[in-house]
């Protein structure tokens, strides 16, 4: 499929360092956003390691003489679910091992939201509260489910979604890559259509900008490469409380 993609990260208005990382690998049609935790050194290192290890693991598959990227199988028969899960698991091991070797990185970890597009399909790997959205037609849908304390409270009926947005605990995640040696990775897949727009973002955007506002900007008449800038500018106008990272991918045909 033919794609357009663009990504941007910003430190925001309240932080003095950026712990987010992202990768756009247009050869593989692989896109990853990671939001690190663990202090200046740890958070930035964890997110950087995550996106690099995931990309490296998938690139190693791409280079094989019998590469799975040559596979024509349907999504349910494709090997990519296992490969993408294993790439995130390898990132988890790399981050955890790094933290064991150097005390300044103790306790570091990161969220991961990864998108792999192949044939007519989209495959997501997800850990934490960074998000994936799909805009199809005039409808935006959150694809990933937050691994966060407030999301657990919402599902249990303890608080409302509106209360979750204002909660002092909204930044507490229940699952991360690298904090422990192993992690449970959510894998989701769907068929794509021409015109589909995917948004991957850290919570610095998701906590500041409503879904419908994302859709409006993404579908606006702005040049495609301007969309992340516009979204980040809006999040910063509302305080820029956190680092903000946005990756936009559009299926053209």
Question: What is the rounded average pLDDT of the residues 49-69?
Answer: 94
Between 39 and 249, name the one with better pLDDT.
249
**Residue 217 predicted with pLDDT over 80:** yes
Question: What is the rounded average pLDDT of the residues 242-247?
Answer: 98
- Tens-digit pLDDT profile for residues 75-97: 778 899 999 999 999 999 999 99
pLDDT at 110: 98
pLDDT at 165: 81
Portion of the chain with pLDDT greater than 70, in percent: 100
CA of 14: how far to CAs of 177, 187, 210, 240, in Å? Answer: 25, 33, 20, 6
pLDDT at 46: 97
- Tens-digit pLDDT profile for residues 135-183: 999 999 999 999 989 989 988 999 988 888 888 888 889 999 999 999 9
* 77-81, 179-183, 193-197, 248-252: least confidently modelled range: 77-81
Question: What is the rounded average pLDDT of the residues 237-249?
Answer: 97
Over the chain, what is the mean pLDDT? 94
Between 77 and 224, name the one with better pLDDT.
224
pLDDT at 181: 95
- Is the pTM higher than 0.85? The answer reads yes
pLDDT at 76: 77
**Residue 40 predicted with pLDDT over 80:** no
């Amino acid at each position: 499929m033919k794609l357009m993609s663009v990504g941007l990260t910003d430190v925001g208005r309240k932080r003095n360092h950026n712990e987010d990382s992202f990768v756009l690998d247009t050869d593989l049609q692989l896109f990853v956003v990671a939001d690190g935790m663990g202090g200046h050194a740890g958070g930035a290192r964890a997110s950087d390691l995550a996106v690099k290890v995931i990309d490296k693991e998938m690139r190693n598959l791409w280079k094989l003489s019998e590469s799975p990227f040559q596979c024509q199988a349907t999504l349910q028969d494709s090997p990519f679910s296992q490969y993408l899960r294993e790439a995130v698991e390898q990132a988890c091991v790399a981050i955890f091992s790094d933290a064991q070797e150097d005390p300044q990185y103790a306790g570091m970890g990161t969220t991961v939201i990864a998108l792999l597009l192949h044939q007519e399909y989209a495959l997501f790997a997800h850990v934490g509260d960074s998000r994936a959205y799909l805009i199809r037609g005039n409808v935006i849908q959150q694809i990933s489910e937050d691994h966060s304390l407030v999301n657990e409270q919402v599902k249990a009926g303890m608080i409302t979604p509106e209360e979750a947005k204002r909660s002092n605990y909204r930044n507490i995640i229940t699952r991360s890559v690298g904090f422990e040696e192993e992690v449970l990775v959510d894998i989701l897949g769907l068929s794509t259509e021409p015109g589909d727009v995917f948004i991957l973002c850290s919570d610095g955007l998701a906590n500041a900008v409503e879904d419908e506002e994302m859709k409006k900007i993404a579908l606006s008449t702005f040049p495609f490469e301007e969309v992340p800038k516009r979204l980040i500018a809006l999040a910063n106008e509302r305080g820029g409380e956190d680092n903000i990272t946005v990756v936009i991918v559009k299926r053209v045909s």
